[in-house]
Amino acid sequence: MRLSVCLLLVTLALCCYQANAVVCPALFSEISGFSFINEPVFKLKLAKYDAPPEAVAAILEVKKCTDQISLEKHLLIEKVQGKIAEKCDR
């Protein structure tokens, strides 16, 4: 539960920092990918950023935690993120 709340707060911070902010579709694509794709595919997505190995290891460790969240909760998080995007795009 705590990790999902943190993820939502980060989403809010990145998307709604201004009253007239427009949400970048790529951001939600990345967040959805983090939640729904498996680790080997996610590693390939991370490779395009050429991040340091320590950063990749850290994000994969967080992913292992989020992968333990049930599909039902992942879908609920996705729904809330969609509502955040709607409010930020206004």
Contact 32, 8 (CB under 8 A): no
Asked, for residue 58, whether it belongs to a domain, the answer is yes
What's the confidence (pLDDT) of residue 36? 86
pTM tops 0.85: no
Which of 87, 85, 80 minimizes the C-alpha distance to 4? 80
What is the C-alpha separation between 90 and 23, in angstroms, rounded?
A: 10
The enclosing domain of 54 has a CATH number of 1.10.210
Q: Tens digit of pLDDT for each residue in 15-65?
A: 665 555 555 677 777 777 788 888 899 888 888 888 889 988 988 888 888
- 60: in domain: yes
Within a domain: 3: no
Q: What is the DSSP letter of 67?
A: T
**What is d(CA 18, CA 43) in angstroms, rounded to the nearest whole number?**
32
| Residue with the larger pLDDT of the pair 67 and 12 | 67
Query: What does the alpha-carbon distance between residue 58 and residue 52 come to, in Å, rounded to a whole number?
Result: 10
Number of independent structural domains in the chain:
1
CA–CA separation, 59 and 69 (whole Å): 16
Domain, as residue range, for 26: 21-89
87: confidence class by pLDDT, cuts 50, 70, 90: confident
Q: Quick one: pLDDT at residue 5? A: 67
Q: Is residue 78 part of a domain?
A: yes
On whether residue 14 sits in a domain, the answer given is no
